[in-house]
């Protein structure tokens, strides 16, 4: 089975099995759905003039994107091949964000300004048939959301979630010192793209005058990266330059292979799409499982209370049935003959049953009010104050997941009425466990 078939199979299976469960627990399915909709995506981001557009032109063999020494591009351009006959065609952002078959509908919420800085270009190169590359406006210093007219980081975050590979480009002159780049690495990307989907590139190395100049720039970039990621281990950084724009100075031959390796990594990104989807499903279904576990435990605690109250109600109802007539006779001299007396004499008639049945009804109503007005709200309040007590968080992984779902669980509990006890949480949990234990494993096996 190739990647495309596998993606379609996954889509069908997820829609059948998981979608209803996501809906039951009010969890957002749109990110996963966006991933399943379209082709694999590579996102190119980084400093202005770091060579993003040059690399795209080189990959496609066409002069698709404008290049230039100052900040050149102010748009997000999605580049793909969609059949030779439509090469050159452009689709504006307004159509992209309204097309339900494309994964960009969520961008609509980011406003008109963004939509007018978004478009799709169809190109002739068949290399881009099964994938799309997104070129982005270069990252700048001292720009604010107001200067751009839209929330740039939110766009990066959304596109990075969709992308199977995020290529982050630097250049020796501005080796990691640009403010937007800092924010992206520090705050935005960790939430949107796993480390395994991030690729770091220092381009334009031919502009270093000597090897020692390059070493200094590389060192600066590594230092800045460790400051941004807060980690000491440095990821692999591709050191490259465009073959056509080399300047005399540094002998770049020792790094000549890195450009090809980078291009190869980008062009083989579609292979990671199914893996990316599986990773996402894995995380989201685990979050769903934890949510469901909390609801199973909460409803079982409510049921235990209900059972305790139920036992008391049964005892009180029996007492009410037999003694309510007698009590009424003692207190109010009515009825003339209680049911218990009639029973002893063996002459129970329908009229004797009126008071006992009224007594039982009153007892049941009183207990129901006790449960629904006092016991349940008290239990709910206690659990809302400490929702963690509803799940066991024995590993760092589960603790991390819990941090993401806690607010959601609190929201679910808050809206959960007593009807909770009748919801089939246990069955849902078993379905989720089966999906994680069987279906997902089979898919992982399939892509190995
Ligand atoms: N010497 C040298 N010049 C390069 C290299 N890559 C790109 N350039 C030049 O650098 C300038 C900027 O390149 P672009 O590809 O436009 O950079 P960009 O990252 O797309 O820039 P923005 O769109 O503004 O964010 C252009 O004039 C390119 O010709 C390289 O490896 N070496
Ligand atoms: Mg550009």
DSSP string, 10-22: HHHHIIIIIHHHH
Distance, CA 366 to ligand 2 centroid (Å)?
73
Identify the residue whose tokens are 């381009």: 203
What pLDDT digit, counting tens, does each position of 314-323 carry?
999 999 999 9
* Rounded Cα–Cα distance for residues 357 and 331 (Å): 18
Distance, CA 53 to ligand 1 centroid (Å)?
7
Instruction: Provide the whole-model pTM.
Output: 0.84
What pLDDT digit, counting tens, does each position of 339-389 carry?
999 999 998 999 899 999 999 999 999 999 999 999 999 999 999 999 999
Spatial contact of 42 and 269, defined as CB atoms under 8 Å apart: yes
pLDDT of residue 422: 80
214-234: buried (b, 16+ CB within 10 Å) or exposed (e) per residue?
beebbebbbebbeebbeeeee
Ligand 1 atom 16, closest CA: 67
Ligand 1 site, residue 171, Cβ cutoff 6 A: no
Ligand 1 site, residue 57, Cβ cutoff 6 A: no
Mean pLDDT of all residues in 247-271: 89
Spatial contact of 379 and 305, defined as CB atoms under 8 Å apart: yes
Question: Domains in the chain, start-ordered, CATH in brackets?
Answer: 41-267 (3.40.50.300), 283-447 (no CATH)
Ligand 1 atom 13, closest CA: 51
pLDDT at 200 over 90: yes
pLDDT band with cut points at 50, 70 and 90 for residue 145: low
Ligand 1 site, residue 190, Cβ cutoff 6 A: no
pLDDT at 143 over 70: no
Ligand 1 site, residue 60, Cβ cutoff 6 A: no
Mean pLDDT of all residues in 86-101: 94
Atom of ligand 1 nearest to the CA of 50: 19
Ligand 1 atom 3, closest CA: 245
Chain-centroid distance, C-alpha 336: 71
What pLDDT digit, counting tens, does each position of 269-300 carry?
998 898 899 999 999 999 999 999 999 999 99
Atom of ligand 1 nearest to the CA of 56: 15
Q: Which protein residues have a CB closer than 5 Å to ligand 2 (ion)?
A: 52-53, 72-73
Of 43, 73, 172, 204, best ligand 1 pocket probe by most atoms within 8 Å of the beta carbon: 204
Strand order across the 237-239 sheet: 90-92, 118-122, 76-80, 132-135, 41-46, 165-170, 198-202, 237-239
pLDDT of residue 7: 86
Ligand 1 site, residue 242, Cβ cutoff 6 A: yes
Chain-centroid distance, C-alpha 32: 7
Give the best-scoring range by mean pLDDT among 3-17, 162-176, 359-373.
359-373
pLDDT band with cut points at 50, 70 and 90 for residue 146: low
Ligand 1 site, residue 69, Cβ cutoff 6 A: yes
What pLDDT digit, counting tens, does each position of 62-93 carry?
899 999 887 778 899 999 999 888 888 999 99
Which DSSP helix (H) or strand (E) runs through 369?
helix 350-369
Atom of ligand 1 nearest to the CA of 242: 31
pLDDT of residue 173: 85
User: Which of 156, 238, 221, 231 is CA-nearest to residue 195?
Assistant: 231
Of 68, 140, 248, best ligand 1 pocket probe by most atoms within 8 Å of the beta carbon: 68
pLDDT band with cut points at 50, 70 and 90 for residue 141: confident
Of 46, 47, 48, 53, best ligand 1 pocket probe by most atoms within 8 Å of the beta carbon: 53
Of 43, 45, 51, best ligand 1 pocket probe by most atoms within 8 Å of the beta carbon: 51
Identify the residue whose tokens are 């990266």: 225
Q: For all residues of the chain together, what is the average pLDDT?
A: 90
What pLDDT digit, counting tens, does each position of 423-433 carry?
899 999 999 99
pLDDT at 448 over 80: no
Least confident among 137-141, 273-277, 301-305: 137-141
* Strand boundaries in 245-285, DSSP class E: none
pLDDT at 419 over 70: yes
User: Which of 104, 118, 98, 252 is CA-nearest to residue 172?
Assistant: 252
pLDDT at 1 over 80: no
């Amino acid at each position: 089975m190739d990647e495309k078939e596998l993606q379609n199979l996954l889509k069908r299976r997820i829609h059948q099995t998981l979608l209803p469960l996501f809906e039951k627990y009010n969890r957002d399915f749109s990110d996963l759905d966006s991933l399943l909709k379209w082709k694999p995506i590579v996102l190119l981001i980084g400093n202005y003039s770091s060579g993003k557009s040059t690399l795209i032109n080189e990959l496609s063999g066409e002069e698709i994107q404008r290049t230039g020494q100052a900040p050149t591009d102010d748009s997000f351009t999605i580049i793909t091949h969609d059949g030779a006959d439509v090469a050159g065609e452009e689709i504006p952002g307004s159509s992209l964000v309204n097309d339900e078959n494309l994964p960009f509908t969520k961008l609509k919420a980011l406003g008109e300004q963004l939509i007018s800085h978004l478009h799709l270009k169809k190109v002739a190169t068949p290399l881009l048939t099964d994938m799309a590359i997104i070129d982005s406006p270069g990252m700048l210093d001292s720009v604010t959301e107001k200067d751009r007219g839209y929330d740039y980081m939110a766009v990066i975050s959304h596109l990075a979630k969709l992308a199977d590979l995020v290529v982050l480009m630097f250049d020796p002159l501005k080796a990691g010192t640009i403010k937007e780049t800092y924010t992206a690495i520090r705050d935005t990307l960790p939430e949107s793209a796993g480390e395994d989907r991030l690729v770091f590139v220092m381009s334009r190395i031919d502009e270093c005058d000597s090897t020692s100049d390059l070493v200094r720039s590389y060192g600066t970039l590594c230092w800045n990266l460790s400051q941004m990621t807060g980690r000491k281990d440095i990821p692999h950084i591709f050191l490259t330059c465009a073959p056509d724009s080399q300047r005399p100075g540094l002998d770049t031959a020792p790094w000549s292979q890195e450009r090809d390796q980078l291009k190869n990594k980008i062009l083989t990104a579609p292979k990671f799409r199914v893996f990316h989807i599986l990773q996402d499903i894995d995380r989201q279904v685990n979050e769903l499982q934890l949510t469901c576990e909390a609801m199973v435990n909460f409803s079982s605690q409510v049921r235990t209370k209900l059972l305790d109250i139920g036992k008391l109600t049964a005892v009180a109802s029996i007492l009410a049935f037999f003694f309510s007539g007698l009590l009424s006779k003692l207190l109010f001299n009515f009825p003339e003959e209680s049911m218990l007396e009639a029973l002893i004499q063996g002459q129970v008639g329908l009229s004797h049953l009126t008071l006992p049945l009224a007594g039982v009804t009153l007892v049941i109503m009183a207990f129901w009010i006790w449960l629904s007005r006092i016991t349940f709200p008290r239990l709910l309040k206690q659990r809302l104050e400490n929702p963690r007590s509803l799940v066991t968080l024995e590993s760092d992984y589960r603790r991390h997941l819990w941090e993401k779902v806690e607010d959601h669980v609190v929201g679910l509990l808050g809206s959960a009425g007593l009807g909770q006890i009748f919801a089939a949480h246990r069955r849902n949990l078993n379905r989720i466990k089966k999906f994680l234990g069987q279906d997902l494993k089979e898919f992982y096996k399939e892509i190995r």
